[in-house]
Structure 1
Amino acid sequence: MGIVINQSIKNTIITYIGFAIGALNTLFMYVQFLGDTYYGLVGYILSAANIMMPLMAFGVHNTLVKFYNEFETEKQKSQFLTFILFLPFILIIPFSLIGYFGYHQIASLLSKKNFIVYDYVWQIPVIALCMGYFEIFYAWVKVHLQSVFGNFIKEVFLRILITISLLAVYYNFITPIQFVFALMGIYLTMTIIMKLYALRVKMPSFQLVIPKNVKAIIWYCIFIILSGSVANLLLEIDKFMLNFYIKIENIAYYSVAIFIATVIAVPSRAMHQITYPITAKLMSENKHDDLNNLYKKTSITLQIIGGLIFIGIILNIHELYKIMPADYSEGIFVVFVIGLSKYFDLILGNNNAIIFNSKYFSAVLILGLLLIGVTISLNIVFIPKFGIKGAAFATLISITLYSLSKLLFVVFKMKLYPFTIATLKSFALLIVTFVLFYFWDFGFNPVLNIVLKSILITAFYLGLSYYLKLSSDINYIINSVFKKIRN
């Protein structure tokens, strides 16, 4: 777990720096500089691009991680990478032709409620393509256990470029319309940088040779396309469908609330960058006990860290919305509901990595596809009646059902168990913290209130967690910090 802790800490720090910059962009710059309409448009474009990304990447970013260790020589690995790089063109070429010749029909359908969308629909597949190839090159460095730089580009560098572009809007160097185009250039830039870094980490000798296990590779790619689409649809379909029923400004309000709730998932995103390839390696070597131990450790560690973030957000949410325009306050309910779904998904540890690298990966896909139907149906029913609150509630039901199905599958099929007695203690600690601090407010400036209350919550929550020894990894980190302070 040494390399896991090391890179997870670095990735967590980087990701939170990125989220701090993202918070500045999302809670202030987008709202004040871009305006609700163009902010809603940007949110819709990125949401649609995320939905499309698994198709444009052809699922090869996860396929690369799964099959990399099966090739023994450097020559075979280089041939495999070359093959992987060209696979996405199986879908890129036909999609490009369909988009070119059918643009008017597609754009008209997507812009029926909000006509502003019409002129920007073509940017969706372009950004999706950049996202896809970024993940492919990122996967290449992850199999070499070098996840930190890619995480920096994805979480920090991307947001810095967005900040610069938003400042350019504020100082009238560019218009909001030009910002939307600049966003596409930003995603292209980060993809090129990731490619150059990947080749620096390990420069392959490019040889286009079809691997012997090509059938297994293709089938796994198809699975990743479908499963990735399921996962992204569950996360993004709400914003995508809001465009069909309500004014695009509401997507801006919803995007802010989703961003706040997504902070809960940051530790999971950071840890999975390094636990995914390690999980794949343990499974390929049939080390069941080591895998079960890793499963438990990731679960309790993420539960404690995620719980702290979740409770911190919920106990400070009203103060946070005081510093934003009043129209955005409708998102408070969305934050709470989506936060619950993120927290539940967080405590499953490296569940996804286990499923995607097992022989049972196709079974869970069927459940996911069924839940997509449920999600779309729930959004169709709830959004017209309740607006963004309806979308949030539909997402909570869908993600909770999907996470629960994956958990039960791993427990009963693979005999791996993420929970221990520490899990119950952590839940109890979360409830006690909520009850103790819910009515505790300061009469100061909202920002100062958030800072002071967060310090008290963190000290109480982490202090009890350390005393109860709920997570050996968290105690190890705290002891390391104390040791450095003493020295």
Structure 2
Amino acid sequence: MGIVIRQSFWSSIAAYIGVGIGYLNVVILMPKYFTPEEIGLYRTIMSTAALLAPIPLFGLKSSFLRFFARNTEKQNETLVFLGSIVFGLLSAVLIGLAVLFKPMLLNFYSEKAAILNEYLWLTLLLIFLTGCHSLLEAILQAKKDIAIPSFIRETLLKFMQASAVVLVGLAIFKVHTFLVFQSAIYLILIIITFYFVSRKFNFQLSVSREQIQESNYKEVFVYARYALLSGLGTVAVIQIDQIMISRYIGLEANAIYTTAIFMAVVIELPRKFIMQITQPVITEDFKANRLDKIHDDYKKASINMLILGSYIFLGIVVNLPNIYTIMPNGDLYRSGISIVYIIGLAKLVNMVFSTNGEIIVMSNYYRVNIFLIASLGLMTIMLNILLIPRYGIEGAAYASLLTFFLFNLFKFLFVKIKFSFSPFSKWTIPTILLIPLFLFINSKFSYAENPWIDILVRSSALSIGFFLFLILGKPSKELLNIIRSIFKKIGLTGL
């Protein structure tokens, strides 16, 4: 697990450079140069593309992660060739269905967000481009390379998007041009990712019948069918609330919601990187029947993600008044403060339950995960339909929190029953209790007039508190070793 934590930690550091750019984009640039309706339009287009992208992907991303470690190189080359054909065919089918049912699609947003109907073609193009990029990413991740795809997706993508916003601010781009330019950004990402993939993987432009017969394509595509349902359910949980808000309330409400969502999403970044490198490791451990190692990694991932997630959560919420003060037109978005708290807690729930979903997916019980995720997706849709008209954007946030908790609880119980695994340790509850403790202490100090100085003071105090917790309590050997290595490099020893 040490190598997992180290790789994930440094990948997280690289990604947080992208987060810094993202915050500049979401908190400063877009509120300054875009109206809330324009931000809502942009977010809804991107969310719709993300929601539908799993359909042409057909579970291939998960299949690559599961089978690459088991296959020979030749089998993997055949798998990628066949998968690319499937992706192209399903993309064509999706576009055809969109054309056939266009009147029905146009009616979906007609009441509160009719302008979205003008960008149906762009949404379809982005579905195809994001799918292509995801396939290439999956190959790198299956090769246990998470640094390059993380840099491309989390840093380079954010930089190009922020640059496009600046071009709008300089009146070089209009908002329409900015939206269309998103497709060019993803095309650039595809080209760059393809270059790095081609250095590690030999693409085949054709395969023989013998190669197909020698591959395990039948097993792969049976698994892919289940992974497709899993992908749709997972993305529905993440994206459906934004789409429903635009449908039921309007684009301005979605701008407020998604701006708050972005602040909360960064809490889960450490989990994302740990999962990227852990999935192929779990696959190999199951293949070698190293169940004790899987259980040990399960616990270590949980406490590490909880510590990192709690630190980031507190760093955000104690500074929320300052963030909205700094934000241009911040009063228009301030009603999203409660959303940050609710979604932030949902992300922490996801982190403390650790790799339960990955353990199920990479085991022989992967079909159970499909059932759970499909149920979760349906639950999310129903709760959003029920709560958004009644409680507005807070209803969408509570729907996410409830579904995340129930989903993880069911997965935890299944893993506990089937494998006798538990992600919790003696440090789980003490780490959780740090959250109300720091929030209570924070409430005793009023905010300074200068938001930048106040952010510096509160963030420094929080960092010192977590540093002392790690050093004195030693809840995580992995994080403590990283701190020691950093101190050693700058000439400090003795920890």
The TM-score with structure 2 as length reference comes to 0.94
Residue 125 (structure 2) pairs with residue 126 (structure 1): yes
Residue 45 (structure 2) pairs with residue 45 (structure 1): yes
What amino acid is aligned across from residue 428 of structure 2 in structure 1?
T
How many percent of aligned residue pairs carry the same amino acid? 29
Measured in 2, the distance between the counterparts of 1:275 and 1:398 equals 24
**Residue in 1 that maps onto 2:166:** 167
From 423, 429, 445, give the equivalent of 1:418.
Answer: 423
Shift of 1:207: 3.7
From 271, 274, 279, give the equivalent of 1:271.
Answer: 274
Shift of 1:107: 2.2
Shift of 1:93: 2.1
What amino acid is aligned across from residue 143 of structure 1 in structure 2?
A
Measured in 1, the distance between the counterparts of 2:378 and 2:272 equals 26
**Residue in 2 that maps onto 1:14:** 14
State how 1:68-87 maps to structure 2 within 5 Å.
Answer: 68-72=68-72, 74-87=73-86
Residue 185 (structure 2) pairs with residue 182 (structure 1): no
Matched position secondary structure for 2:289:
coil
What amino acid is aligned across from residue 130 of structure 1 in structure 2?
L
What amino acid is aligned across from residue 269 of structure 1 in structure 2?
K
Greater Cα offset, 471-480 or 373-382: 373-382
**Residue in 2 that maps onto 1:348:** 353
Q: Is the 8 A contact 2:69 2:280 kept in 1?
A: no
Q: 1:428 to 1:105 in 2, by over 3 A?
A: closer
Measured in 2, the distance between the counterparts of 1:105 and 1:432 equals 51
Q: Is the 8 A contact 1:303 1:347 kept in 2?
A: yes
**Residue in 2 that maps onto 1:117:** 116
**Residue in 1 that maps onto 2:136:** 137
State how 1:256-267 maps to structure 2 within 5 Å.
Answer: 256-267=259-270
Measured in 1, the distance between the counterparts of 2:264 and 2:63 equals 30
Q: Is the 8 A contact 1:57 1:129 kept in 2?
A: no
Measured in 1, the distance between the counterparts of 2:212 and 2:257 equals 45
Shift of 1:110: 3.1
Name segments (4+ residues, structure 1) moved above 4 Å: none
Shift of 1:44: 0.4
Matched position secondary structure for 2:212:
coil
Matched position secondary structure for 1:406:
helix
**Residue in 1 that maps onto 2:397:** 392
Q: How many equivalent residue pairs?
A: 486
Q: Is the 8 A contact 1:265 1:342 kept in 2?
A: yes
Q: 1:100 to 1:196 in 2, by over 3 A?
A: farther
What amino acid is aligned across from residue 123 of structure 2 in structure 1?
I
Q: Is the 8 A contact 2:261 2:339 kept in 1?
A: yes
Greater Cα offset, 196-205 or 256-265: 196-205
Shift of 1:125: 2.5
Structure 2's unaligned 5+ residue stretches are none
State how 1:327-346 maps to structure 2 within 5 Å.
Answer: 327-346=332-351
Shift of 1:329: 0.8
What amino acid is aligned across from residue 374 of structure 1 in structure 2?
M
Root-mean-square deviation over aligned CA pairs: 1.7
Structure 1's unaligned 5+ residue stretches are none
**Residue in 2 that maps onto 1:220:** 223
Residue 385 (structure 2) pairs with residue 362 (structure 1): no
Shift of 1:206: 4.1
Residue 478 (structure 2) pairs with residue 476 (structure 1): no
From 198, 210, 213, give the equivalent of 2:212.
Answer: 210
Shift of 1:59: 1.2
Q: Is the 8 A contact 1:127 1:188 kept in 2?
A: no
**Residue in 2 that maps onto 1:376:** 381
Shift of 1:170: 0.7
Measured in 1, the distance between the counterparts of 2:380 and 2:293 equals 36
Q: Is the 8 A contact 2:59 2:224 kept in 1?
A: yes
What amino acid is aligned across from residue 380 of structure 2 in structure 1?
T
**Residue in 2 that maps onto 1:201:** 200
What amino acid is aligned across from residue 280 of structure 1 in structure 2?
T
Shift of 1:186: 1.0
Measured in 2, the distance between the counterparts of 1:133 and 1:330 equals 37
Measured in 1, the distance between the counterparts of 2:205 and 2:424 equals 45
Q: Is the 8 A contact 1:99 1:122 kept in 2?
A: no
What amino acid is aligned across from residue 408 of structure 2 in structure 1?
S
What amino acid is aligned across from residue 46 of structure 1 in structure 2?
M
Shift of 1:442: 4.2
Q: Is the 8 A contact 1:134 1:191 kept in 2?
A: yes
Matched position secondary structure for 1:122:
helix
